[in-house]
C-alpha cells in the first residue's frame, strides 16, 4: 500500500509540474527526471525486484500506467509550447505598412536569344525551315557523313568531348543536315539548324567550350555558287544593316567544295579600319560553300542530279558584333548588371 500511495503522489506531482512548465528546455529536463532512464519512474521499476512474486504484476502494471500517463501529458504540453512559440513569432513579425512594396521587374530576352530569333526569322522569310537535332551525336553523323575522315585533326580527343568511342557532344550543327537529307525522299531541302555545340576550347575572351551555331543547307536542282552569294548577302544586310558589304574569299572545309570564308565590312568603322576589325575594315563571320558530292551521297541524295550550298554562323559571334561585346564569357555568366543593358 505504501508504494501505491507513493506512485499516486508521483502522478499528481508530475502532472502539476508538466502543467506549469514554461519552456521547451525545462520540459525536456522534466521529461528526463520523470520518465527518463534514470528518472523517478525508473527508480520504481528497480524497486519491483524487491517485491514478492505475487505483488510484481499489480505494481508493474501500475508503474507502466503512470509512465504512459506522464508521457502523454508531456507530449500534449510540448505541442502547446510549440504553438505558443509560433504565435509569439508571428506577433513579433508585424508588417510595417508604411514601407514601400517590392517591385517585380519585367523580364526580357537574353542577347543570345534575341539574335537566335532574329536569324531564324530572316531565313524563314527566305523560305527556310528551322529544324533541330540531338546534342549527343554518333561519329558517323558528326564526322564521317560530313566527309571528315578518321585521320582528320577534329577527331582528336583534345578537340572534342567524347562520351564513348563512337559517341560525342556534337562539334557543329551540321549533323542535323545529314539527318534531314536521310529522312527526305527527295529534294528540295531548305533548312537552318540552330543549337548548342561543344568543343574543347580554352575559356578566354573569344572562346568557350559551349557556344551556339546556326548552319544552313539548301539542296535542289541547278543550285550554284551565285545562289549562295545572294542568300548570304541578303542575310548580312538584314542582320547588320542595308549598307553592309559582303566579301567572299576561298577557304577549305571538308564538307564543301568549293568553300569560302565570308566577311562583312566593319559595322563600327564602315570599312575604314579600327581596333575591332584589326585595321582591315572586314569582320569574318561565317564559313560556307557548295555541298561536297560525297556529303550528298551520305545523305542519300544523287549528286549527279542535285547540288546545294551550306553555311555556318556563330550566334555568339553575331551577338558580340551587334552589341559591341568584347568578351564571350559575359554571355554565359548571368550577371544582371550586364544582362539588364539589353
Instruction: Report the alpha-carbon distance of residue 248 to residue 250 in Å, rounded.
Output: 7
Average pLDDT, integer, range 69-84: 85
Examine residue 188 and say whether the peptide bond preceding it is cis (omega within 30 degrees of 0).
yes
Task: Say how far apart CA 63 and CA 40 lie, in whole Å.
Answer: 10
How would you classify the pairing of strands 129-130 and 189-198? Answer: parallel
Who has greater pLDDT, 61 or 291? 291
Q: How many Å apart are CA 238 and CA 222, to the nearest integer?
A: 26
Percentage of the chain exceeding pLDDT 70: 99
Given this model, what pLDDT does residue 34 score?
Answer: 80
Cβ(154)–Cβ(172) below 8 Å:
no
| Confidence check: pLDDT of 37 > 90 | no
Q: What was the pLDDT predicted at 1?
A: 57
The answer to whether the beta carbons of residues 301 and 219 sit under 8 Å apart is yes
Taking the complete model, does pTM exceed 0.85, yes or no?
Answer: no
Summarised one tens digit per residue, pLDDT across range 210-264 is: 999 999 999 999 999 999 999 999 999 999 999 999 999 999 999 999 999 999 9
Q: What's residue 175's pLDDT? A: 94
- pLDDT score at 301: 94
Amino acid at each position: 500500500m505504501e508504494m501505491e500511495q507513493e506512485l499516486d503522489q508521483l502522478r499528481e506531482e508530475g502532472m502539476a509540474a508538466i502543467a506549469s512548465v514554461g519552456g521547451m528546455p525545462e520540459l525536456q529536463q522534466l521529461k528526463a527526471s520523470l520518465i527518463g532512464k534514470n528518472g523517478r519512474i525508473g527508480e520504481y521499476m528497480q524497486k519491483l525486484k524487491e517485491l514478492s512474486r505475487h505483488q510484481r504484476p499489480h505494481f508493474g502494471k501500475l508503474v507502466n500506467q503512470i509512465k504512459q500517463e506522464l508521457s502523454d501529458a508531456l507530449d500534449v504540453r510540448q505541442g502547446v509550447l510549440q504553438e505558443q512559440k509560433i504565435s509569439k513569432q508571428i506577433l513579433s513579425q508585424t508588417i510595417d505598412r508604411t514601407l514601400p512594396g517590392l517591385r517585380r521587374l519585367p523580364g526580357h530576352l537574353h542577347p543570345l536569344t534575341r539574335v537566335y530569333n532574329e536569324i531564324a526569322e530572316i531565313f524563314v522569310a527566305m523560305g527556310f525551315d528551322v529544324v533541330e537535332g540531338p546534342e549527343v551525336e554518333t561519329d558517323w553523323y558528326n564526322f564521317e557523313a560530313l566527309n571528315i575522315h578518321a585521320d582528320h585533326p577534329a577527331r582528336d580527343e583534345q578537340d572534342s568531348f567524347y562520351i564513348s568511342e563512337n559517341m560525342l557532344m556534337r562539334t557543329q550543327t551540321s549533323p542535323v543536315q545529314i539527318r534531314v537529307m536521310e529522312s527526305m525522299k527527295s529534294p528540295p531541302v531548305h533548312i537552318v539548324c540552330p543549337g548548342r555545340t561543344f568543343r574543347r576550347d580554352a575559356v578566354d575572351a573569344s572562346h568557350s567550350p559551349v557556344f551556339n551555331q546556326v548552319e544552313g543547307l539548301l539542296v535542289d536542282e541547278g543550285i550554284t555558287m551565285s545562289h549562295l552569294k545572294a542568300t548570304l548577302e541578303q542575310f548580312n544586310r538584314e542582320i547588320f544593316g542595308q549598307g553592309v558589304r559582303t566579301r567572299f574569299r576561298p577557304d577549305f572545309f571538308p564538307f564543301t567544295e568549293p568553300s569560302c570564308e565570308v566577311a562583312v565590312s566593319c559595322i563600327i568603322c564602315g570599312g575604314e579600319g579600327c581596333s575591332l576589325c584589326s585595321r582591315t575594315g572586314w569582320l569574318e563571320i561565317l564559313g560556307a560553300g557548295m555541298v561536297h558530292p560525297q556529303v550528298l551521297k551520305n545523305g542519300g541524295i544523287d549528286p549527279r542530279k542535285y547540288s546545294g550550298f551550306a553555311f555556318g554562323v556563330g550566334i555568339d559571334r553575331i551577338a558580340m558584333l551587334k552589341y559591341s561585346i568584347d568578351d564571350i564569357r559575359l554571355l554565359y555568366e548571368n550577371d544582371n548588371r550586364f544582362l539588364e543593358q539589353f
